């Protein structure tokens, strides 16, 4: 049996998903190849090198083989059309972010142009869905966003994002000194609110002796650069931005964090939450982003979507007496709900079900 995993847009955060999917399939007897952006093939710590799918791999796909699309693009769409024409392979699409409405993206802070771009991308997603035999949705919110999913359970399934356990016992023992923002800077991730809150803490000498961390491949927005610079000069903010980080570097940032920001304005799914849990790191969650993967006082602390300073500081402080319990709860939740070994049964059962 053969499988080709597909992702034509480079993002180091995608490596964890694809490598976990690879392990799951290899343990089921599949020979796995990759049809990915070239930067994946040379990126440090990435295992895709020398396993790039060739034309012959496409031509040798048959019934029972898998063509799994992890992220959408026009290039991917052409690949799907090719394999649809050439073979009887099963096409599987991991659909991270089903489209909701133009108004919902505007309400989350997207500019009109950015919301229009998301709308355009949704058309590509719609075509990919039409061409795919199986569609995996990684959260209840994503599942509910596609009404057809509830009426065709052989074609659609809610299956959590796949990860493998990437942290060592030594990483789990690292000192936890940071209140962290890790991941992409996006309007709906409430980065501006995070910066405003930590700036207030620094000015008021609140939440001492914790420090703050921003770790992102994104560039700092120009309108926030002055306040970020002042925070860095205070000695309480560390910033790693503007260049891709390796998976080991990303995991180290999670492992050094006391808590990680997940208080987004909206999201269908978040790779940040499972990564934090993997490292035994609780999260700060907002009421507007709360999902089936978080329980207040069990996996971290909940704040409202008002993002007030008092609420933010109280949320951090109330975790202190039970932090080690929250950490273990988070780690256990990862192993039971995101580790690919815990998901292998439901994953393979879904792919083997007839439509």
Please state, in angstroms and rounded to a whole number, the distance separating the CA atoms of residues 176 and 343: 30
Looking at CATH, the fold of the domain delimited by 2-164+339-352 is given as: Rossmann fold (3.40.50)
Region of 334 (left: φ > 0; alpha: ψ -120 to 50; beta: rest) is alpha
Would you state the structure tokens that stand for residue 249, as one six-digit string? 């570097």
Half-sphere exposure of 231 (CA within 13 A, CB side): 22
Asked whether the predicted pLDDT for residue 68 surpasses 70, the reply is yes
pLDDT classification of 352: cutoffs 50, 70, 90? confident
**Mean pLDDT lowest among 95-99, 131-135, 202-206, 299-303:** 95-99
Tokens 């952006």 locate to 37
> Fold match between 2-164+339-352 and 169-337?
yes
pLDDT classification of 355: cutoffs 50, 70, 90? low
Q: Alpha helix (H) ranges present in the chain?
A: 15-27, 38-42, 55-59, 74-86, 102-107, 112-131, 140-144, 169-172, 191-203, 225-233, 247-255, 272-278, 309-319, 323-337, 340-352
pLDDT classification of 193: cutoffs 50, 70, 90? very high
CB atoms inside a 10 Å sphere around CB 90 = 20
Asked whether the predicted pLDDT for residue 159 surpasses 70, the reply is yes
The pLDDT tens digits for 94-112 are 998 887 778 877 877 788 8
* Domain parsing of the chain, residue ranges: 2-164+339-352, 169-337
The pLDDT tens digits for 209-267 are 999 999 999 999 999 999 999 999 999 999 999 998 998 999 999 999 999 999 999 88
The pLDDT tens digits for 295-329 are 999 999 999 999 999 999 999 999 999 999 999 99
163 with 20: CB under 8 angstroms?
A: yes
27 with 344: CB under 8 angstroms?
A: yes
* Per-residue pLDDT at 103: 81
Average of per-residue pLDDT across 66-74: 92
Q: What is the CATH number of domain 169-337?
A: 3.40.50.2000
Would you state the structure tokens that stand for residue 197, as one six-digit string? 């809150």
Asked whether the predicted pLDDT for residue 354 surpasses 70, the reply is no
For the chain, percent of residues with pLDDT exceeding 90: 67
* Per-residue pLDDT at 267: 84
What's this model's pTM, rounded to 2 decimal places? 0.93
Asked whether the predicted pLDDT for residue 191 surpasses 70, the reply is yes
């Amino acid at each position: 049996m053969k499988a080709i995993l597909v992702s034509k847009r480079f993002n180091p955060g995608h490596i964890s998903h694809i490598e976990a999917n690879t392990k799951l399939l290899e343990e089921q007897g599949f020979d796995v190849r990759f049809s990915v952006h070239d930067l994946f093939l040379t990126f440090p710590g990435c295992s895709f090198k020398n396993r790039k799918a060739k034309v012959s791999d496409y031509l040798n796909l048959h019934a029972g083989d898998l063509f799994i699309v992890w992220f959408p693009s026009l290039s991917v769409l052409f690949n799907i059309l090719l394999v649809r024409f050439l073979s009887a392979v099963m096409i599987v699409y991991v659909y991270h972010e089903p489209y909701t409405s133009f108004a919902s993206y505007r309400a989350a802070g997207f500019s009109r142009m950015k919301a229009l771009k998301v709308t355009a991308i949704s058309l590509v997603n719609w075509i990919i869905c039409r061409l795919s035999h199986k569609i995996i949705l990684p959260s209840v919110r994503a599942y509910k966003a596609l009404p057809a999913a509830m009426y065709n359970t052989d074609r659609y399934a809610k299956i959590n994002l796949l990860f493998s356990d990437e942290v060592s016992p030594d990483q789990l023992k690292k000192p936890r000194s940071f209140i962290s923002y890790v991941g992409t800077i996006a309007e709906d991730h409430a980065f501006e609110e995070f910066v405003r809150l930590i700036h207030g803490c620094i000015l008021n000498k609140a939440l001492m002796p914790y420090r703050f961390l921003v770790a992102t491949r994104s560039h700092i927005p120009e309108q926030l650069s002055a306040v970020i610079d002042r925070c860095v000069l205070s000695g309480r903010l560390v910033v790693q931005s503007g260049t891709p980080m390796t998976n080991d570097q990303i995991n180290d940032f999670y492992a050094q964090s006391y808590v990680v920001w997940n208080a987004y304005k909206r999201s269908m799914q978040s790779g940040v939450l499972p990564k934090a849990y993997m490292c035994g790191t609780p999260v700060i969650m907002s009421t507007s982003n709360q999902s089936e993967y978080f329980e207040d006082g069990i996996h971290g602390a909940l704040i409202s979507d008002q993002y007030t300073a008092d609420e933010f500081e109280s949320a951090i402080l109330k975790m202190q007496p039970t932090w080690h319990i929250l950490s273990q709860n988070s780690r256990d939740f990862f192993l039971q709900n995101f580790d690919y070994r815990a998901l292998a049964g439901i994953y393979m059962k879904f792919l083997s079900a007839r439509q």
